[in-house]
Structure formats: structure tokens, C-alpha cells
Chains A and B, each alone.
Chain A
Amino acid sequence: MTGNGSENAKRIADELASCGVKLVASLPDNWVMDVIDTIEHDARFIHVPVNREESAIGLCSGAYMGAMGSAALMGASGFMTVVYALTKINYTYEIPLFLLATLRGAVGDHHKHHVSNGLYLLPVLDAISMRYQIIDKPEEIPLISRCYRHTRTYARPMVVLFTRDLLRRSH
């Protein structure tokens, strides 16, 4: 049972709010559009659409230094562009950062243009020693809070990767 995209987006938003996330900086990916729409219309959050994924890294890192909880939401392709920002800011200064991204290119992704993400996303995460958690089912959504808290303990970034089965839209 995977639920539908809208229901799971609401659960994801509830989980983010429960662990103290206030700022969500996002760039779109078709799979996360329900999540973005939900957060945009949820008064518990300040949603900031950004111009590129690196900006989300900077914005959320600064929010951390001001004691505001935050999450950077993006697609896998966007994530692949932020390696320098993560290693420079979040590893060098040991600034926690919580990211939400799509597990593009995995089994179930119909789009051939995400083959590169299927080949390299997880190896890149391993290469920079970045922890990740794949969430594939609604009952795994509470792992978001555990992972968020881990970034605060670990003082480095971590990413939760959503599968298509979790996020696919109901329409």
C-alpha cells in the first residue's frame, strides 16, 4: 500500500513540522510537486522557491545559524549540482543540513533521461560520505524526523530519498 501522492505529501509535511522544520527551500521535480504544493499552502512553513539548488544549501545553512529548522527539497538532478556547496559549507564548517530529494533513475522511473541519476546518485553520495535514507512506503515517513535529528547530532548533511512509488501523483 503506497497511498497516493497527495496523502503522502501531507504526511511528509506533518513529519517535517513535527521535528521543527519551519523553512523549506525548494526546486521542483515532477515527483515532489505534491509535496511542494502542500508546503506552499501550509501555514506551518515558510516556503522559499529558489533559483538553483545551491541557493537552497546556502539559505538553509544560514537559517541553521539563526536557530531556524529547515529542509532543502529538490530532485535528484538538482542534488547532483550541489556537491561543492555541501562539501564546502556543510562539511567544512560542520553545519547540519537536511535534504529531501527524489530517487530518480531507480526501478520504477520511466524516464530515460534519469538513467544518469540511476547510475551515479547513490555512488556520489557514498563518495562524499553523505548519509542517506530511502523512503519507499508511507509507514517509513516517520524516519524523516529521525534523520533530521541525526543531522543535528552529526553536524553534517543527510538526505532522505523518496521513491516514485511514494510520491507518484494521484492525477
Chain B
Amino acid sequence: MKYLDCFRALARQRSGEIVVASAGNSCQAWWAVTRDSVGSFYLDASMSLSAMFASGLALAQPGLKIWAFMGDGAFCMNPGTLMVERQMNLPNLTHFLVSNRAYGGTSNAGLPNYKDNDYAAIARGMGLERVFAFSSIEKLERDFVVLEVEPFSDEEQKLEQPPFDGPELKFRFGRHIESLTGANVFGYRI
């Protein structure tokens, strides 16, 4: 499955979900197919923390549905995050593990043990029950989803990163959360 085709399919199926994208290719791909800068938070170079960030948001706002993208490069750095996700068991969070078997954000450098890593089995081993793996574009469901995609081509590696500095993204996204929920994210507190 081509990375961008996969993300185009996800974007077509999106119905109001808030997105937290991870470093590198998933930020590039999601920005390329959606140009969304209010309902998507591009947590660039967080080295595995997109799903935890998304979990905090999902916990705080149970009325929102949250999608978290994470590459398998990030996942290799912190697979134990699934233990926390399983423990929290948030019904409004879907964690998409985008498996291109490479560190896509760093010129497709090789992943450790990339031939044998079975991410769905790892997730099930940590107690997750709703685990789905796709290597072609099909219906995607909630919880933990492994998307088997091809690494970015050399041309795709040149895709634009979301062109926002951190604070601008924080405010665009946070104001959107405020408008959706009525929550006071940035209000002055005394």
C-alpha cells in the first residue's frame, strides 16, 4: 500500500476526528492530503509521544474522537506506550501505527529487526483486543490499527512539512478544541 494512498483513504473516512500526527512522514503525508491546520496537531519529532499526547487529549475531552498516527520508527522507541493505552482503555482513541519498516523521517534508515517485527502481535501481547492490520486499503476500525505501507519514495521525501511554528499550531489547534467543546484551554487562570 502506498503511504499517500493510505492517508488519502483515511482522510476520506474521517468524520470530524481530531488528529495527532507524529514526526516525519505521517506529518508530511497528512498535511499533503488534508492541508488541515486546525483539527490536526503536528507533533513533529516527538520520538514516540504522539499516542500519549493523543491519550491525554482523549481523556480530557471524551466527547471528541481522536486519531493518533505513529510511525513504526517511533513505536520502536517506546512500545511500552501500549501498556499505558491499554490501561487507560479510552473508547475515543484510535492509534494508527504506520509501518513502513524504516525510519522514514530520516531518509528511510533501517529499523532494528524490521523483517520480523509483528506489531499486531505486540499489541495483543499487551492486552489490546481491538487490533487490526491492513496492507491494502480497506475499512479501518477503532483502537489499534497497523497500516503496512511502502516507505516514502525519494520524491515523496520532499513533501512539505506543515509550515507552522509550534506556538501558532498550538493556538490554531487549541482554539478549534475550544470551539468544539466549549472548554477553556488558554483562558487566563488565577
Q: Which residues B159-182 have CB closer than 8 A to chain A?
A: 166-167, 169-170, 173-174, 177-178, 181
Q: Which residues B133-190 have CB closer than 8 A to chain A?
A: 166-167, 169-170, 173-174, 177-178, 181, 183-185, 188-190
Q: Is the CB of B183 within 8 A of A67?
A: yes
Tell me the bound Cα distance from A40 to B177 in angstroms: 29
Tell me the bound Cα distance from A68 to B61 in angstroms: 8
Q: Is the CB of B52 within 8 A of A62?
A: yes
Contacts of B83 in A (CB 8 A): 51
Q: Is the CB of B45 within 8 A of A88?
A: yes
Number of interface residues of A (CB under 8 A): 35
Q: Indicate whether A84 sits within 8 Å of B177 (C-beta atoms), given known contacts A48-B87, A55-B52, A58-B52.
A: no
Tell me the bound Cα distance from A23 to B49 in angstroms: 17
Q: Is the CB of A93 within 8 A of B169?
A: yes
- A119 CB to closest chain B CB (Å) equals 26
Q: Is the CB of B185 within 8 A of A67?
A: yes
B interface, size bucket: 35 or more
Tell me the bound Cα distance from A62 to B185 in angstroms: 11
Query: Does chain A have a CB within 8 A of B120?
Result: no
Tell me the bound Cα distance from A57 to B57 in angstroms: 13
- A133 CB to closest chain B CB (Å) equals 18
A interface footprint on B68-82 (CB within 8 Å = 1, 0 otherwise): 000000000010110
- B105 CB to closest chain A CB (Å) equals 13
Tell me the bound Cα distance from A65 to B58 in angstroms: 10
Query: Does chain B have a CB within 8 A of A45?
Result: no
- A62 CB to closest chain B CB (Å) equals 3
Contacts of B55 in A (CB 8 A): 58-59, 62
Contacts of B60 in A (CB 8 A): 23, 62-63, 65-68
Q: Is the CB of A63 within 8 A of B56?
A: yes
Q: Is the CB of A50 within 8 A of B167?
A: no
16 further A-B pairs in the complex, CB-CB below 8 A; given A65-B173, A65-B174, A89-B49 = A23-B59, A48-B87, A50-B84, A55-B52, A55-B84, A59-B56, A61-B56, A62-B52, A62-B57, A63-B56, A63-B59, A66-B181, A67-B185, A68-B60, A94-B166, A149-B189
Interface residues of A (CB under 8 A from B): 20, 23, 46, 48-52, 54-55, 57-68, 70, 84-85, 88-89, 92-95, 149, 152-153, 155
